[in-house]
């Protein structure tokens, strides 16, 4: 085995910044000296392992529904609410403390407008009406008789990363700045089947979707999307959707901005045009420098963020680190993620974790040898439409800084000589 | 639109038993009359929808870690323990109340030998020793510096479905009979990297893996498997593994019987041969009719079970139903699942939910028009090695009835004229 290969480092020719070709890390031939580059584990004499107290006593009994370890109590969503309210605001996923691509349902981000309704599923109804031949009311039991499908999909709030439109770099890290995106396996009935069933009028180009919260939060959705891949989701990550994510029924519009994925869905009205609700007029529109605004910007453009390292996860000594993050596109599959450690001067391709699924979070990973000096980490996603995630400067040149919505520019983490990681513009 | 297509039913030519070709259900052209075959939803006048109490008041505030609805309190694991113990036994996943392929971590099946240890992750160590050049001790922090990978994988207890070896059909349904299988996204470090790091002796053909529970549960694993796709899992479904599933570290051996996926992993010893622990000698061996026993039967053969309908989920009126279930193979991907409604006389191919992943649960679905008469539902999985799930009779002819392990014969649910579903042999 050629142990020297990895020790030498074999930097990616495309990068002069310590980024390594991952193939050299994963081949058995190369792994022998990985620890030298990481931080050599303690070499122990056999039998030295302590018998810890939990091996000296019987463990705890079975419970019907398991919970995380008490030692993980810090792994929670962090929420912020409008003044004077407890349920109007958002909570953010702590991606810097997670790994993989599925977001546990208890940590899926939330955006509520009047808190979380406590819906009795036996009383809940879905009405489909408007420009239809046959208005229909469904119970959950009737809905569940229709053919069902599952898909793993991300949901991202239109306001995620909105702080990066500000002039000065906001404090905070992955959770505070980019925590309004999550990913789950959703299972439910195809909306197209129900609209066919109701006999939607061919001249109807939109639907209105309304939630059963106190706000009656509602959004207009193009009929083309409703007939394409919209799902009335009953299950999230295998179990019934949790109240904070829309129990018992949520509209899933894969790849469309989060607000349109109406929770607690109670009503779909087939309409000729959009209904112009509050959340598509005064909110979720992109104000441009010239005073105009972009309305009905639905799909999320390709985007990526590095979750490890990120602020709060400091570097501990020079050597090898895995840079890891999440990429997604509302238009399809992620085809490539490039990573830079020098603020975008040079790039190296990251490995994408299989399976890469359309409109789902994709985990990317790249090996990086930190030499102890300052560095600026960035990631840049490309999707299978060929679209490349823009720099922040490019995005702002196009769109200005008057909005908080649909920020998908490249984000930057600075690594200081002390190993601390902070949010910067670069 | 040709509304008659579905109304006529167009049964699959292969099946004379009401099974329908799913393509006709999903085409927009066919969907118009689906409700007529299901159970016609109430036709409602627009505006008739009641404004329920939860729309008249503010909902509940944000919480750091969400939980299921109080209306889903019945969706729990059911456990059974050895006499005089609270933590030696197993708990089973309620697949009849779930859908999709991911099992929520709180409902993942468990098999414990001395309860669930309460491990402090800062004190936890992993020792790699035995026939190695460099014995190594890892903290979790050191481990996390190695390259990480994710995969969605099932784990099935070797004793799952063991009651089907009994002479008379056991009472109970999906959870009681087949609930010892679950599926999650696991993320961690490749064991091969660490064994390379330690310099495992080429003549060592096995490893021993030991857990940090009071039982010190341990199993021998072939080195070939350890070097192939074994993962030291730190995360399950995105978050740190829960205590009941091995917090903070679990050995994941994709496709191998559950017991070998050692929880609370503390020690890996590289050995020349197997260690002959309790759980691979007196347990987890297959007793044959001639008094001999099969030892070291590791991968799970291709298998499938229908989850919907199944006992406890009764049929409500004649008409269209979706038959849905789970299929898996420890050897690779599921390539086909056939479904029968007449006890195996005729079969129709079910649709497989994409993505179909190797060594992961695969959801299959088929449309069935129940005519109100008695029926016997079965599913039969084929994997990409060409292996076909055997009938129960065939399996027992080969293996006898003295064991409880590795039952993968075809299971049967009987539908009675009253719509009740029961476990039978057929």
Return the bridge partners of A187, or none: A150, A235
What is d(CA B133, CA A49) in angstroms, rounded to the nearest whole number? 18
What is d(CA B305, CA B421) in angstroms, rounded to the nearest whole number? 14
Contact in structure between B192 and A31 (CB atoms under 8 Å): yes
Full 3-state SS string of B242-281: CHHHCCCCEEECCCECHHHCCCCEEEEEEECCCCCCHHHC
Contact in structure between A248 and A203 (CB atoms under 8 Å): no
What is the SS3 assignment for A198? Answer: helix
- pLDDT at residue number A47: 56
- pLDDT at residue number B40: 59
- Cβ contact, residue pair A147, B64, below 8 Å: no
How high does pLDDT run on average in chain B? 91
> What sign for the dihedral angle of Cα B58, B59, B62, B63?
positive
Whether B10 shows a pLDDT value over 90: the answer reads no
What average pLDDT does this structure show over A217-231?
A: 98
How high does pLDDT run on average in chain A? 91
- pLDDT at residue number B44: 62
Whole-model pTM above 0.90? yes
Beta strands at A239-240 and A265-271: parallel, antiparallel or unpaired = unpaired
User: How does residue A18 score in pLDDT terms, banded at 50, 70 and 90?
Assistant: confident
Residue A30, exposed/middle/buried by CB under 10 A (0-12, 13-18, 19+)?
Answer: buried
Q: How many CB pairs (< 8 A) connect A and B?
A: 417
What is the SS3 assignment for B62? Answer: coil
Whether A369 shows a pLDDT value over 60: the answer reads yes
Whether B328 shows a pLDDT value over 60: the answer reads yes
What is the SS3 assignment for B175? Answer: helix
Instruction: Provide the CB-side half-sphere exposure for B128 (13 A, CA).
Output: 25
From chain A, the residues in CB contact with B44 under 8 A are 127, 129, 135-137
Nearest CA-CA distance, residue B115 and chain A, Å: 4
**Best CA proximity match to B105, nearest among A188, A362, A155, A107:** A107
Nearest CA in chain B to A267: B49
Does ipTM top 0.90? yes
- pLDDT at residue number B262: 98
- pLDDT at residue number A361: 98
- pLDDT at residue number A144: 87
Which residue is listed with tokens 């028009």?
B369
Q: Which of A126-130, A238-242, A354-358, B312-316 has the lowest mean pLDDT?
A: B312-316
Q: What's the Cα-to-Cα distance from A184 to each of A32, B75, B238, B390, rounded to whole Å?
A: 37, 19, 10, 34
Nearest CA in chain B to A214: B55
- Cβ contact, residue pair B54, A117, below 8 Å: yes
From chain B, the residues in CB contact with A352 under 8 A are none
A5, A36, A66: best mutation site toward chain B, by most B Cβ within 10 Å? A66
Whether B31 shows a pLDDT value over 80: the answer reads no
Whether B365 shows a pLDDT value over 60: the answer reads yes
- Cβ contact, residue pair A55, B216, below 8 Å: yes
- Residues B260-292 pLDDT 10s: 999 999 999 999 999 999 999 989 999 999 999
- Residue by residue, DSSP assigns A218-252 as EEEEEHHHHHHT-EEEEEETTEEPPGGGTTT-EEE
**Best CA proximity match to A377, nearest among A399, A410, A353, A349:** A410
Residue B35: which residues within 8 A CB-CB, separation 6 or more?
A136, A197, B41
Residue A116: which residues within 8 A CB-CB, separation 6 or more?
A87, A110, A213, A243, A244, B59, B60, B61
| Residue B227 main-chain phi, psi, to 5 deg | -85, -10
**Best CA proximity match to A327, nearest among A349, A360, A355:** A360
Whether A24 shows a pLDDT value over 60: the answer reads no
User: How does residue A217 score in pLDDT terms, banded at 50, 70 and 90?
Assistant: very high
- pLDDT at residue number B21: 64
**Best CA proximity match to B62, nearest among A71, A248, A109:** A109
Task: Name the DSSP letter for residue B27.
Answer: S
Name the H helices within B217-374.
223-228
**Residue B63: count of CB within 10 angstroms of its CB:** 16
A355: tokens are 């399976």
Return the bridge partners of A190, or none: A231
Whether A2 shows a pLDDT value over 70: the answer reads no
Using only the alpha carbons of chain B, give its radius of gyration: 24
Nearest CA-CA distance, residue A394 and chain B, Å: 33
Contact in structure between A94 and A103 (CB atoms under 8 Å): no
Contact in structure between A179 and A107 (CB atoms under 8 Å): no
- pLDDT at residue number A16: 56
- Cβ contact, residue pair B104, A237, below 8 Å: yes
Q: What number of helices (H) and strands (E) belong to chain A?
A: 8, 26
Nearest CA-CA distance, residue B225 and chain A, Å: 14
Whether B17 shows a pLDDT value over 90: the answer reads no
**Residue B283: count of CB within 10 angstroms of its CB:** 14
**Identity of the residue in B97, B242, B357 whose CB atom sits nearest the CB atom of A69:** B242
- pLDDT at residue number A1: 29
**Identity of the residue in A54, A102, A248 whose CB atom sits nearest the CB atom of B212:** A54
From chain A, the residues in CB contact with B350 under 8 A are none
User: How does residue A9 score in pLDDT terms, banded at 50, 70 and 90?
Assistant: very low
What is d(CA B424, CA B408) in angstroms, rounded to the nearest whole number? 15
- Cβ contact, residue pair A187, B100, below 8 Å: yes
Residue B295: which residues within 8 A CB-CB, separation 6 or more?
B280, B281, B285
- Residues B185-235 pLDDT 10s: 999 999 999 999 999 999 999 999 999 999 999 999 999 999 999 999 999
- pLDDT at residue number A42: 59
- pLDDT at residue number A20: 76
A43, A69, A107, A119: best mutation site toward chain B, by most B Cβ within 10 Å? A69
**Residue A16: count of CB within 10 angstroms of its CB:** 13
pLDDT over 70 for what percent of chain A? 90
- Cβ contact, residue pair A148, B123, below 8 Å: no
Q: In what order do the strands lie in the sheet with B110-112?
A: B78-81, B89-92, B110-112
Return the bridge partners of A376, or none: A342, A414
What is d(CA A206, CA B220) in angstroms, rounded to the nearest whole number? 60
Nearest CA-CA distance, residue A142 and chain B, Å: 7
What average pLDDT does this structure show over A127-147?
A: 93
pLDDT over 90 for what percent of chain B? 86
- pLDDT at residue number A40: 56
From chain A, the residues in CB contact with B98 under 8 A are 235, 238-239
- pLDDT at residue number A7: 27
**Identity of the residue in B145, B235, B243 whose CB atom sits nearest the CB atom of A38:** B145
- pLDDT at residue number A49: 85
For chain B, the first-to-last Cα distance in angstroms comes to 41
pLDDT over 70 for what percent of chain B? 90
A55, A313, A320: best mutation site toward chain B, by most B Cβ within 10 Å? A55
Nearest CA in chain B to A369: B145
- Residues B118-150 pLDDT 10s: 999 999 999 999 999 999 999 999 898 899 999
What average pLDDT does this structure show over B304-331?
A: 95
Whether A121 shows a pLDDT value over 60: the answer reads yes
- Cβ contact, residue pair A190, B26, below 8 Å: yes
The DSSP element (H or E) to which A137 belongs, if any, is strand A136-138
| Residue A71 main-chain phi, psi, to 5 deg | -80, -5
From chain B, the residues in CB contact with A350 under 8 A are none
What average pLDDT does this structure show over B345-350?
A: 96
- Residues B88-123 pLDDT 10s: 999 999 999 999 999 999 999 999 999 999 999 999
- Residues A42-73 pLDDT 10s: 555 555 788 999 999 999 999 999 999 999 99
- Residues A169-193 pLDDT 10s: 999 999 999 999 999 999 999 999 9
Whether A276 shows a pLDDT value over 80: the answer reads yes
- Cβ contact, residue pair B150, A99, below 8 Å: yes
Contact in structure between A46 and B130 (CB atoms under 8 Å): yes
Whether B6 shows a pLDDT value over 60: the answer reads no
User: How does residue A19 score in pLDDT terms, banded at 50, 70 and 90?
Assistant: confident
User: How does residue B36 score in pLDDT terms, banded at 50, 70 and 90?
Assistant: low
What is d(CA A97, CA A313) in angstroms, rounded to the nearest whole number? 9
The DSSP element (H or E) to which A8 belongs, if any, is helix A4-8
Q: What's the Cα-to-Cα distance from B206 to each of A425, B25, B209, B343, rounded to whole Å?
A: 51, 51, 10, 43
Nearest CA-CA distance, residue A147 and chain B, Å: 6
Whether A239 shows a pLDDT value over 60: the answer reads yes
- Cβ contact, residue pair A355, B353, below 8 Å: no
From chain B, the residues in CB contact with A31 under 8 A are 192-193, 196-197
The rounded Cα B313 to chain-centroid distance in angstroms is 19
Nearest CA in chain A to B145: A321
The DSSP element (H or E) to which B395 belongs, if any, is helix B392-399
> What sign for the dihedral angle of Cα B240, B245, B248, B252?
negative
């Amino acid at each position: 085995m050629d142990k020297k290969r990895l020790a030498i480092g074999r930097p990616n020719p495309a990068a002069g910044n310590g980024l390594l070709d991952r193939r050299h890390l994963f081949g058995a031939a190369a792994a022998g000296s990985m620890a030298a580059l990481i931080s050599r584990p303690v070499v122990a004499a056999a039998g030295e392992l302590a018998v810890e107290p939990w091996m000296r006593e019987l463990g705890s009994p079975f419970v019907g529904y398991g919970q995380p370890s008490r030692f993980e109590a810090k792994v929670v969503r962090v929420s912020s609410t409008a003044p004077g309210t407890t349920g109007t605001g958002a909570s953010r996923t702590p991606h810097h403390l997670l790994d993989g691509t599925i977001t546990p349902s208890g940590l899926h981000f939330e955006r509520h407008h009047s808190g979380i309704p406590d819906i009795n599923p036996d009383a809940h109804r879905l009405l489909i009406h408007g420009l239809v031949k046959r208005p229909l009311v469904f119970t959950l039991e009737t809905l569940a008789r229709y053919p069902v499908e599952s898909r793993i999909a991300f949901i991202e709030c239109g306001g995620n990363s909105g702080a990066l439109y500000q002039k000065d770099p906001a404090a905070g890290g992955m959770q505070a700045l980019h925590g309004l995106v999550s990913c789950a396996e959703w299972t439910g009935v195809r909306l197209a089947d129900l609209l066919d069933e109701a006999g939607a009028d061919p001249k109807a180009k939109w639907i209105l979707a309304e939630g059963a919260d106190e706000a009656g939060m509602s959004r207009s959705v193009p009929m083309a999307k409703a007939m394409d891949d919209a799902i009335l989701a009953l299950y999230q990550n295998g179990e019934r959707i949790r109240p904070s994510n829309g129990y018992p029924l949520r509209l899933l519009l894969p790849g469309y901005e989060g607000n349109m994925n109406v929770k607690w869905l109670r009503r779909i009205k087939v309409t000729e045009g959009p209904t112009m609700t509050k959340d598509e007029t005064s909110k979720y529109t992109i104000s441009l420098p010239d005073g105009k605004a972009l309305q009905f910007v639905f799909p999320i453009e390709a985007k990526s963020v590095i979750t490890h390292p990120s602020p709060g996860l400091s570097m501990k000594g020079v050597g090898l680190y895995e840079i890891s993050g999440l990429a997604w596109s509302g238009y399809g599959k992620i085809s490539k993620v490039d990573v830079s450690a020098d603020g975008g001067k040079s790039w190296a391709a990251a490995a994408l974790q299989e399976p890469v699924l359309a409109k789902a979070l994709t985990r990317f990973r790249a090996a990086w040898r930190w030499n102890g000096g300052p560095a600026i980490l960035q990631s840049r996603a490309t999707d299978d439409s060929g679209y490349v995630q823009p720099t922040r400067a490019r995005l702002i040149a196009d769109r200005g800084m008057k909005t908080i919505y649909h920020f998908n520019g490249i984000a930057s983490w600075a690594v200081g000589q002390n190993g601390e990681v902070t949010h910067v513009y670069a």
